[in-house]
Amino acid sequence: MRSARALLTTALAVLLMAPLTAAEAGNPPPPPTAVPLGIPLSDVLLIGGTVAPGPNGKAAIWNISAGKPGYLNAIDPATGASLVSAPLPGADAGYAVTAAPDGTIYAGTYNNGHLYRWRPGSGNTVEDLGRPIASEGFIWRLTTDPQGNVYGGTYPGGRIFRYDAASGAVRDYGQIIAGQPYVKSIDYANGKVYAGTNPDAHLAELDPVSGAVTEIPTPPGLPDIKNVAVYDLNARAGRLYARFSTAYPGPTFVYDLATRAWVDEIPASHGLDISPVGDSGEIYLIQQSELKRYDPATKTLTGTGLTFTGRIQNARAIGWAELGLPDYPGKSIVGTLWRGELFRYNPQTGKSEIFQSAVRREPIEILSVAGGKESVYAGGFLNGGVAIVDPATGASTFNRFSQTEAILEASDGKVWIGNYPEARVYSYDRTKPWSSPEYSPGPPGTPDNPKLRVNMKADLQMRARTIVEVDGKIAIGTVPEGDRLGGALAIHDPVAGTTQVFRNVVQDQSVFGLAADRNIVYGGTSITGGLSTTPPTRTEGTVFAWDVRHSRKLWETPITGAGTVSSVALGPDGLLWGVAGKTIFAVDTLRGRLKRRFDLGTTTAGGDIVATRDALYAGIDGNRIYKLQPWQRTTPPVFITHPNRRLAVRGNNQLLVTTGAQLFRIDLNR
């Protein structure tokens, strides 16, 4: 048996022979490099649209597709081919597309709130007419009058404007209903403009000459207008069709403009629009997952046999077109769905079909990212989707899904996915084929994967914003729906299949970030609610500790001067670290007492913080990442200057960084 002295001598010899690191050799380590992993998410997202003459004078389907920038598209309803694909500089997307009597197409957009114009003969080029009202960043819907003037509804001021097509002059009619920040829907009929609001469902009539506003009484079958929008509004042949709902099915009420009375209710209609009237006065709409014919005279609905599947089934454009196809004589109903599919139906033959149009796919901004044992996971904003990425090569597999707020690969290899809306949470078995009946079904008979595990619609929650594993369970932090405050902490038991939802763990605050150790979950909160216009009741975001086994809050600590703690992480020093706007801070986990604070940024933009076993990395101001060493008391150095929105770590050796639609990898501990 070897002596202790011999063992020590051998160990020292091994250490002496080991190569020195750059720092040990007296040389500074090389600067970190952000290795691009490409754009893992891309898809079609059509939002607003209409059916109107295209560049060849025949009926085309006009839509805005989301992107950076968004595009104004015209699609041939006979072939699905692209007729116009015009970039909208500075715009992300838009719900608002309308046609003037002379064939001019107008588009209203967000987040820049601009109005664009396409004239016949202008090809793939639009005119940017600027922002009609300086204070308004969203144009929600547009309509035109017989003279070609354009009317639009806006956010955040809840205003209506008129754009004079002849002179270019803009008239601002002001906020239409006091206290309502969204004019969500709009249409024109018989010399009046009609508008619907959000978050409370008011319906107003505007006299565009005098500017007088008259509110139309609520339909008698609608008991409450709180947190219900007039999401869609169409004027057709002396009637208003107003859908009081959200992006999901709800009742459409029919209002007779002559008698000024509500005369019918069409339940469970999908929106987002209905067709113009046909030769017999009929209209078509999607209702209970089927294209239906509605007869206003008899108030009857008749099915067409054209059915829709998946979670999103609303029309992004719908109207009449002559297709010149053998099975589609005369006029047919045509339209588009959200992922660029084109649908059509012929009333004479009953022929119908759905097929993919040629609208171009656009990159999707990454909203969530997570590192796994073998892969990286990226979740998409707005268009949604989940991509599984090879961290070495950037090769990715894209799966259609809803807006993905949070992703976690748990210790057992299951992937948990938090979504918008309804604060839904799914589990995905990465060893089995992806098949989502709501968004991207596999071959017939393929089991659901991901599987829906949690839905917090009944708990008035909208966004499953953050997910961690704690004590064998899954903890979820959420943001509430609609014009309300009070997020939730949900604890899901995967074995029992049960979920406990604790609302207002921090009173009137949303849960933006989570971290966990043993049976304790730690959270970061925001004073914000479901909508940016919800007035907060608190002034400071907090961090808190929650005992999962005993279902009780241990402590709560406000962070002075910060409305939102956007992210938290447990550091290698045992402290709970967080990012709150321009501030990085740390508290002890026993009582939540402040131990460190560094004010490094210049904005209140939300940042992210993640930890390895050696250090923490925090994104500040959206363009710098700081490295924090354990027990550090001096101002931390900038690790890398790089645009960033979300951060994640994979093991202890890779930092993942998102920049818009791009994903990057930084190799650590080199």
Q: Which residues pair with 244 in a beta bridge?
A: 230
Q: What is the pLDDT of residue 224?
A: 85
Residue 115 has pLDDT above 70, yes or no: yes
| Coil vs helix vs strand at 486 | coil
The two tokens of residue 95 are: 């719900």
Q: What share of the chain is helix, strand, coil (3-state, %, to 5)?
A: 0, 50, 50
Which pLDDT band holds residue 8 (cuts at 50, 70, 90)? very low
For residues 566 and 388, what is the distance between their CA atoms, to the nearest angstrom? Answer: 25
- Using alpha carbons, select from 347, 231, 239 the residue that is nearest to residue 334: 347
Calculate the CA dihedral of residues 205, 209, 212, 215 and round it to 10 degrees. 0
> What mean pLDDT do residues 498-516 have?
98
Q: What is the pLDDT of residue 248?
A: 87
- Using alpha carbons, select from 146, 83, 140, 78 the residue that is nearest to residue 115: 140
Q: What is the pLDDT of residue 27?
A: 64
Residue 629 has pLDDT above 50, yes or no: yes
- Close Cβ partners of 262 (under 8 Å, ≥ 6 residues apart): 219, 220, 221, 253, 254, 255, 256
- Using alpha carbons, select from 290, 286, 244 the residue that is nearest to residue 269: 286
Contact at 8 Å (CB) between 160 and 173?
A: yes
> What mean pLDDT do residues 347-375 have?
97
Q: What is the pLDDT of residue 670?
A: 61
**For all residues of the chain together, what is the average pLDDT?**
94
Contact at 8 Å (CB) between 344 and 359?
A: no
Residue 20 has pLDDT above 50, yes or no: no
Q: Using one digit for the tens of pLDDT, what is the confidence trace for 275-288? A: 999 999 999 999 99
pTM, full prediction? 0.89
Residue 631 has pLDDT above 50, yes or no: yes
> What mean pLDDT do residues 219-223 have?
87
Contact at 8 Å (CB) between 420 and 462?
A: yes
Q: What is the pLDDT of residue 574?
A: 96
- Using alpha carbons, select from 491, 503, 575, 508 the residue that is nearest to residue 542: 508
Q: Using one digit for the tens of pLDDT, what is the confidence trace for 45-101? A: 999 999 999 999 999 999 999 999 999 999 999 999 999 999 999 999 999 999 999
Domains and CATH numbers, the chain: 44-356 (2.130.10.10)
Q: What is the pLDDT of residue 247?
A: 84
427 Cα distance to chain centroid:
20
Which pLDDT band holds residue 226 (cuts at 50, 70, 90)? confident
- Using alpha carbons, select from 102, 75, 61, 98 the residue that is nearest to residue 320: 61
Q: Using one digit for the tens of pLDDT, what is the confidence trace for 393-448? A: 999 999 999 999 999 999 999 999 999 999 999 999 999 999 999 999 999 999 99
Residue 223 has pLDDT above 90, yes or no: no
> What mean pLDDT do residues 536-548 have?
97
For residues 490 and 482, what is the distance between their CA atoms, to the nearest angstrom? Answer: 19
| Coil vs helix vs strand at 670 | coil
The two tokens of residue 214 are: 């008259």
- Using alpha carbons, select from 272, 310, 290, 476 the residue that is nearest to residue 400: 310
Q: Which residue has the tokens 């500017």?
A: 211
- Using alpha carbons, select from 83, 88, 81 the residue that is nearest to residue 65: 88
- Close Cβ partners of 243 (under 8 Å, ≥ 6 residues apart): 230, 231, 232, 233, 250, 251, 252, 253, 269, 271
Q: What is the pLDDT of residue 534?
A: 84
Residue 9 has pLDDT above 90, yes or no: no
